[in-house]
Amino acid sequence: MTQETYGERDFARTDDLRVVHERLLSWYAANARDLPWRRTRDPYRILVSEVMLQQTQVERVIPAYEAFLSRFPTIEHLAAAPLAEVIAAWGGLGYNRRAVYLWRAARQIVEQHGGEFPRDRRQLEELPGVGRYTAGAVLCFAFGQPVAFWDTNIARVLTRIFLGPDHSPRRRDLDALAERVLPLDRAYEWNQALMELGARVCTSRSPRCEQCPVRAVCRSVGTVGMVRRRSERFAGSRRYYRGRIVAALRRLPAGVSLHALRELVGDPDSAGGELALEELVEGLARDGLVEVREEGGEYFVRLPGKPAD
Ligand code: SF4
């Protein structure tokens, strides 16, 4: 597919686009959830929320977001904190690598930008862990810039509404689509509304077309959903053991030998998989989540920056 396929004659005819704008924005105004990150325009708070919301559901993020911000209320507080404290504060959110990226991004903003967030997409994308989506979200939700961006949810909603059920647009086609349908004067509400619709109505597996505000003009109404993916087995997976290792080290600030760690988290090999504990620890060390030191022929592991005793 080329961008030509997504020209105005193929989607978002003026009338349809106007209807989508009106109906989706009215629905959002009446139905938006009162989420803590919708009450702020502080770029630091927006960034924390966006990083937490990657991979984690809203209900789990809300208490973690509030606890994290009471511990690190400003970007300076976060940048000055030891990494181990930040990882510990990440708590049960999982995907701990995000905490490392967030901490590195905070340090970069403080050290290279004097604590001021860049208002430029390219500079934001140079921050650790910040990609096109997160940079767009900060620019739009914090600085009110009319920028388009998409993640899996927004991409699904845009594709269904404007293209139809048989389309799998490439990244650059989605960029073009998102930009073309963005109402420049209502970018904040529009991007929030797309997310809200994707989370609550146009869900991946069970879209509720009968309750959808844009059903009259949606090109996929009644035709999508119910595609069940085989869920990835979590227990025994790489992510499962990585999470267990970091959780064990949170309880043991002085660190622990590799041998004792195996006792604490179980042996990945005996779970029938091909994961070796050493390899998992090495991966965590490469991601900056743990430190490994050798002492008397034994390896010791701890969270980074924790005292040695
Ligand atoms: S009509 Fe159905 S497929 Fe279209 S946007 Fe609404 S919920 Fe999604």
Q: Can you name the CATH fold of 42-141?
A: Endonuclease III; domain 1 (1.10.340)
Question: What's the pLDDT band for 273 if we cut at 50, 70, 90?
Answer: low
Res 1 pLDDT > 50: no
pLDDT digits (tens, 9 = 90+) for 197-238: 999 999 988 899 999 999 999 999 988 765 445 455 677 788
Domains 3-34+147-211 and 42-141 equal at CATH topology level: no
Residue of 215, 217, 224, 226 to test ligand 1 pocket, by largest number of atoms within 8 Å of CB: 215
CA distance 21 to 19: 5
How confident is the model over 10-24, as pLDDT tens digits? Answer: 555 678 899 999 999
Tens-digit pLDDT profile for residues 160-177: 999 988 888 899 999 999
pLDDT in tens, 21-35: 999 999 999 999 999
Return the C-alpha torsion angle 113, 114, 116, 122, nearest 10: 0
Query: Catalytic residue among 4, 8, 22, 50, which?
Result: 50
180's CB contacts (< 8 A; 6+ apart) are: 6, 8, 12
Mutate which of 11, 153, 160, 194 to test ligand 1's pocket (most atoms within 8 Å of Cβ)?
Answer: 160
Per the prediction, the chain carries an average pLDDT of 88
Q: How far apart are CA 42 and CA 143, in angstroms?
A: 8
What's the pTM? Answer: 0.76
Q: Of 40-44, 275-279, 282-286, which has the strongest mean pLDDT?
A: 40-44
Confidence of residue 8 (pLDDT cuts 50, 70, 90): very low
pLDDT per position as a tens digit, 239-258: 888 999 998 998 888 888 88
Scanning the chain, the segments in alpha helix (DSSP H) are 14-31, 43-53, 58-71, 75-80, 83-89, 97-113, 121-125, 132-141, 152-158, 171-181, 187-200, 238-251, 258-265, 277-286
Domain ranges of the chain: 3-34+147-211, 42-141, 238-302
For residues 179 and 150, the answer to whether their CB atoms sit within 8 Å is: no
Pocket around ligand 1: residues whose beta carbon is below 6 Å from it? 157, 160-161, 201-202, 207-209, 212, 214-215, 218, 220-221, 224
- Residue 144, pLDDT score: 97
- Is residue 53 within 8 A of residue 95, CB to CB? The reply is no
pLDDT digits (tens, 9 = 90+) for 85-137: 999 999 778 888 999 999 999 999 999 999 999 999 999 999 999 999 999 99
Q: Which CATH number is 238-302's, of 3.50.30.30, 1.10.10.10, 3.30.1310.10, 2.30.30.190? A: 1.10.10.10
Ligand 1 atom, smallest distance to 207 CA? 7
User: What tens digit of pLDDT does each residue of 258-270 get?
Assistant: 888 888 888 776 6
Residue 216 CA to residue 194 CA, distance in Å, equals 17
What pLDDT shows up at residue 274? 56
Ligand 1 mean position to 91 CA, how many Å?
A: 35
> What's the CA gap between 301 and 17, in Å, rounded?
56
Minimal-distance CA residue to ligand 1 atom 2: 209
Query: Can you say whether residue 115 is alpha, beta or left, with left for phi > 0 and alpha for psi between -120 and 50 degrees?
Result: left
CATH topology for 3-34+147-211 is: Endonuclease Iii, domain 2 (1.10.1670)
Q: How far is the CA of 112 from the centre of ligand 1 (A)?
A: 44
